[in-house]
Structure 1
Amino acid sequence: MTTEQRVLRASEWDRWYGALELAFGGVADSDGVRALWRSLTEHERSIGVWDGDDCVGTAGAFSFRLSVPGGALVPAAGVTMVSVAATHRRRGILTSMMRRQLDDVRELGEPLAVLTASEPAIYGRFGYGIASQQLSAEIETASARIALPDGVDEIRLRRVDPDDPAVREACEAIYAAEVATRPGMLARSPGWDKLPVVDSGLEKGGMSPLQCVLAERDGETVGYTHFRNKPEWSRSGPRGTIELRDVYAPDPVAYAALWRFLFGIDLTTTIQARSRPADDPFLHLVTDIRRCNVRQRDSLHLRPVEVGAALEARTYRTPVDVVFEVEDRFCRWNEGRWRLIGDAKGASCERTRDTADLALSVRELGAAYLGGVTLAALARAGRVKELRPGALAEASTAFASDIAPWLPHGF
């Protein structure tokens, strides 16, 4: 049976997206979600595999800028909407799409490719490493409390319409301030401000419409939260759940004020928080962490598409001068020795014939790139080999980040 792989045509989007929905269980997205993804799809960066009139494979990419250690926003391909029909497995369709996609990313000059994985075991063979983690928590608000810093009562909280353009603009400004300080976040271009407020259809599951509360000081917006409320009752009384979509505030006092508000919503006993950073400050605000039921899982998977350009794009916590012996079986142009010289001001990374100090694959470089995974930890797992004594400690310290990398939302 033959198939055809081609760039997505605008007229094919509905069938292409329908194939994606079917591969992910066959439950159709809401009209609002579909309309958003239709508007954001970059057709020239999207691939369909066709068996006659049937779409049996999908893959796409968004043109992102990713924050990296040092604060730079680096061009990155946001790999997305990847699926293969269950009827067409084990025929090389996924590999062929990944091959074409990474060749295109290289041609476009983007040094990085990133994705989130429905099944994390899939993408390691294509050179993607797990570069950031996310926390989820189910907080028992009837038992845990918030330890508040001074000044919380000076913060004004105000309910607003989350889809009001002025509100979206204010929230995006807060989000952008976070991007500038934390690796692993995406600078949201026009249109992406609708992602946090899109109608997902969850109201049908008993959830309230999306709600938004702004935190203000002296008339200036200094934070916000988006959430839904699911009222529930037991024989003993109310046990409603707050589903927290996001909460942002660069100001620690405003951040604590928003959490106090969430803890105090009437008739609720639980906050379900997902996709939180690994070092979320709420971990240090709650009085009883055991009542938060915290879990951790993989989030952003990252691959250097051009090793030299990728390592030059970020800065390093301490001075580093190290030669990597890089293995990259899927993108052979990266294989060989690379000398990285860098510090907190900048870096250079060029091919060299010098003796290698560390040996690793491009997957390990991707995992360590944002500073959330140390090269030392990877070495203890046998995935990085030290060839020069002292090189591992030097490089591991230099790559580290004081702030945990975080991807707040999928794409």
Structure 2
Amino acid sequence: MALDIRTIDDSDLTAWITAMRTGFLISPTPAKDEVEVRGAGMDLARSQGAFDGGRCVGTFRSHPQWLTVPGGAQPAVNAITNVTVSPTHRRRGVLSRMMARDLAAAEERGDAAATLIAAEYPIYGRFGFGAATFCSTWEVHVARAGLDRRYAGPECGGRVDFADGATVRELGPALHERLRATRHGAVDRTERWWRFATGDLPHPTGWKEPFHVLYRSPEGRVDGLLTYGVEEQWTAKQPENKATVRDLVAVSPAAERALWHFLLSVDWLTVVDSGYRAPDDVMPLLLPDPRAARATTAQTDFLWLRPLDVPALLEARTYAAEGSLVLEVTDPDGYAAGRYLLDAGPDGGSCSSTTRDADLTLGAGALGSLYLGDESAARLVAAGLAAEERPGAAARADLLLRTARRPWCPDMF
């Protein structure tokens, strides 16, 4: 029987969620209230299923997203998530067909790009995606960190206080928007995100209430939020407890220092897991002994980006210097294909189709990797993933595109 790939409706939700859980190696039966809770947060018009007879064997959905780019603009992009193909139906073109339908709809809507978090590295390059942000994790051995264990509050005159979930739902969204205005690579958080993070909605895969901590500046402004969980363990009456950071949002250096110092001073904690942080996160530098922060993931890809409207994408961001660049973008699916003249500067840039000779030739995925300023064009050329048509073009691209701080996406989606 031919596979039927179609937009789902309410009657498909149980089968669709079962297939998604199967693909992600979660117990296949939906948890209590999962169908209702998940369904309430899905745009069914942007949710696809692959069906073999009456059984769902593939899942795919997308939702609107706003991505902060260098300079602070937030173009609309198409965020892809919940992508699975059941092991029984691999290598039959299921993902290719669902991806093609979704990208065509995204282009028609006018989305500048598509984004996703890749569960496996090799899958999405063939669809024009490139790794655009990276993340790192550290495990801090508290006793070695060298911080003053007699910590009694921030030295800057601010204060740190515990907060409940309702307070976080009230104050967290505005704080995150302040971060997102200045941190390229960050994406928006919906009201549902905050409700899940604070236990106001039941989490389909289980949820244990964490601790929430707010940092207030000396003027009383909320400039930081820390959320962490603790795994309790004692051996021979000695604490060996581990805290794992679920979220740390700081919009000032003082807030960042205060929240890390607070967490690393909590009694009975011997290890702190940083959670996913930017690869150039300052946390190790805040420690008298940075070696106490052992990299458990030195660097791994996180947010992937697929250009759809190249002029709109390149005109949305700012650039480190004045200059021009002609890019020949190859794209078998056609969305990003073309030759583009970028006239760039610190206040922004203009981008349009051109017949001028190309300076740099690259695929859509390579452009996605360069776009937020993390990857190096010179490195891509050295790896054979881009071609320099004029001497010095890669260096010029890096001068324009790269950013002082690396892009960071704090959120899974």
Normalised TM-score (structure 2): 0.92
Number of the residue aligned with 1:378: 380
Deviations 1:354-374 (A, max 9, x none): 111111111110001001112
Q: How does 1:57-72 map to 2 (within 5 A)?
A: 57-72=58-73
Cα distance in 1 for residues equivalent to 2:379 and 2:335: 27
Cα distance in 2 for residues equivalent to 1:349 and 1:220: 40
Identify the match of residue 299 of structure 1 among 297, 302, 318. 302
Q: CA deviation at 1:153?
A: 5.2
Cα distance in 2 for residues equivalent to 1:322 and 1:146: 48
- Which of 290-299 and 189-198 deviates more? 189-198
Number of the residue aligned with 1:145: 146
Identify the match of residue 371 of structure 2 among 364, 369, 372. 369
Cα distance in 2 for residues equivalent to 1:109 and 1:132: 23
Quick one: structure 1 residues 175 and 284, their matched pair in 2 at CA, closer, same or farther if it must change by over 3 Å?
A: same
Tell whether the 8 Å contact from 2:14 to 2:35 is kept in structure 1 after alignment.
no
Cα distance in 2 for residues equivalent to 1:144 and 1:367: 35
Tell whether the 8 Å contact from 1:46 to 1:61 is kept in structure 2 after alignment.
yes
Cα distance in 1 for residues equivalent to 2:355 and 2:235: 70
Q: How does 1:34-183 map to 2 (within 5 A)?
A: 37-146=38-147, 152=155, 154-162=157-165, 164=166, 166-183=167-184
Number of the residue aligned with 2:360: 358
1:22 aligned partner, one-letter code: T
Q: CA deviation at 1:345?
A: 1.4
Q: CA deviation at 1:74?
A: 0.6
1:5 aligned partner, one-letter code: I
- Which of 21-30 and 78-87 deviates more? 21-30
Number of the residue aligned with 1:14: 14
Q: CA deviation at 1:38?
A: 3.0
Q: CA deviation at 1:336?
A: 2.8
Deviations 1:106-127 (A, max 9, x none): 0110011000011111000001
Cα distance in 1 for residues equivalent to 2:26 and 2:216: 43
Number of the residue aligned with 2:263: 262
Quick one: structure 1 residues 99 and 57, their matched pair in 2 at CA, closer, same or farther if it must change by over 3 Å?
A: same
Q: How does 1:204-283 map to 2 (within 5 A)?
A: 209-217=209-217, 218-235=219-236, 237-283=238-284
Tell whether the 8 Å contact from 1:45 to 1:62 is kept in structure 2 after alignment.
yes
2:277 counterpart SS class: strand
Number of the residue aligned with 2:287: 286
Cα distance in 2 for residues equivalent to 1:384 and 1:33: 45
Residue-pair matches, total:
404
Deviations 1:13-48 (A, max 9, x none): 222112101111133676587665433211111111
Number of the residue aligned with 2:398: 396
Q: CA deviation at 1:194?
A: 2.2
2:169 counterpart SS class: helix
Quick one: structure 1 residues 313 and 325, their matched pair in 2 at CA, closer, same or farther if it must change by over 3 Å?
A: same
- Where structure 2 has 5 or more consecutive residues not aligned to the other structure, the ranges are none
Quick one: structure 1 residues 17 and 332, their matched pair in 2 at CA, closer, same or farther if it must change by over 3 Å?
A: same
Cα distance in 1 for residues equivalent to 2:62 and 2:357: 37
Cα distance in 2 for residues equivalent to 1:47 and 1:71: 32
Quick one: structure 1 residues 195 and 74, their matched pair in 2 at CA, closer, same or farther if it must change by over 3 Å?
A: farther
- Which of 47-56 and 139-148 deviates more? 139-148
Tell whether the 8 Å contact from 1:152 to 1:256 is kept in structure 2 after alignment.
no
2:256 counterpart SS class: helix
Quick one: structure 1 residues 361 and 240, their matched pair in 2 at CA, closer, same or farther if it must change by over 3 Å?
A: same
Q: CA deviation at 1:60?
A: 0.5
Q: CA deviation at 1:233?
A: 0.9
Number of the residue aligned with 1:3: 3
Cα distance in 1 for residues equivalent to 2:216 and 2:377: 41
Number of the residue aligned with 2:351: 349
Cα distance in 1 for residues equivalent to 2:147 and 2:19: 45
2:362 aligned partner, one-letter code: L
1:53 aligned partner, one-letter code: G
Identify the match of residue 309 of structure 1 among 301, 307, 312. 312
Cα distance in 2 for residues equivalent to 1:128 and 1:303: 4
Cα distance in 2 for residues equivalent to 1:410 and 1:151: 30
Cα distance in 1 for residues equivalent to 2:32 and 2:395: 52
Normalised TM-score (structure 1): 0.93
- Where structure 1 has 5 or more consecutive residues not aligned to the other structure, the ranges are none
